[in-house]
Structure 1
């Protein structure tokens, strides 16, 4: 990790009330400002649970999480305003248009009207949605819906963006457009925490990674260093070597 820490995760565990085992156990990670950090692992490994805890959607059972901005602690409402979350599930109103959805969610972040309009039109243009801005989202293709999902998550220009499978089920063109724009906002300082099952995409996109399996961190750090340490040529080989080949569906 390089640069000042923006998220410090210390010994975080999570056990759901109905579960016999922990979903997360003693997870400790530091994520640097302006990083693209990949949380990777098999189905059910605990990635979405960890992101949900970091976003304040669910509480951890134990452990501590600290957020920082310019080396100063951030908590409460300020933390929420600095976070953007793009879930794997669609998080918009199907019966509304992209423009209406962005207006609604932008208002939830208390964006001033002129700022919201400017930001909305920029996102519609940059994500290739301008021509469809007044059509109901329910009629869109999967790739277009993913782009609407992304636009909603970043309408308020968050400092930290959480992405849970942002390109699942989309075509190559939409995936490239999404990744290209994410690189662009990262280059201006946005920290990105990202999960995906696309190992080749993650290898190209992420600067640092943590591999999670059965709720525990089994490897973390710079990808090149991890490949060298485990004597593998790519992320997929590293993933299989550390998590095994058994089915996880």
Structure 2
């Protein structure tokens, strides 16, 4: 039986919470709500959440602070997909800087207020399609072609788990995974911003160039030996970005050893 995605709505406006609760439940989703960061953390501890819709303007800690803290602490790792729970941030209309900072903090998508609930539903479905929960049995027994190795790093394309050369898990957001996935599956190719957005987010991509630059910058901080002088993800003047490391797929026996270590 297919599991119903569980959405957490975090907004201090009760009318918005109630409206979105009724609308999303009507369209087949499970919904929990929270009015602030404290209630959000309680909801995360109470059950597996597949996606968070998080308002930027909240009493106490705002949405940017909450996103940053979740990504930094790994508290958003309670999702059923085994990685950081995707976050859609609700921002003020026309505030591009809020969107940029939200992406920098680790949000995966954004939607400006006021918005049509149908648009939010479409965004939720798009993000869930990109980071669809996989059965644990599939993740744990994935085939070798679901893993990519580069410069000592290992990225599992099924479970979205990234490990550094020491075998340690490195937390990445859903957005960061999207772009790293695009890079490791297209190494040595110059990808412009439109191509990267299309590879990472498909038809649901928004024409927002800074979104690409922000995610690339975040990735560099996670995987580059020296993010200030990147050697893995190189900027190509007038072209875009190129992933330079050699990317390999481990042999089945190597994959088995990696799983034992996990």
TM range (shorter): under 0.3
TM (norm. structure 1) is 0.26
TM (norm. structure 2) is 0.26
Which has the larger helix fraction?
Answer: 2
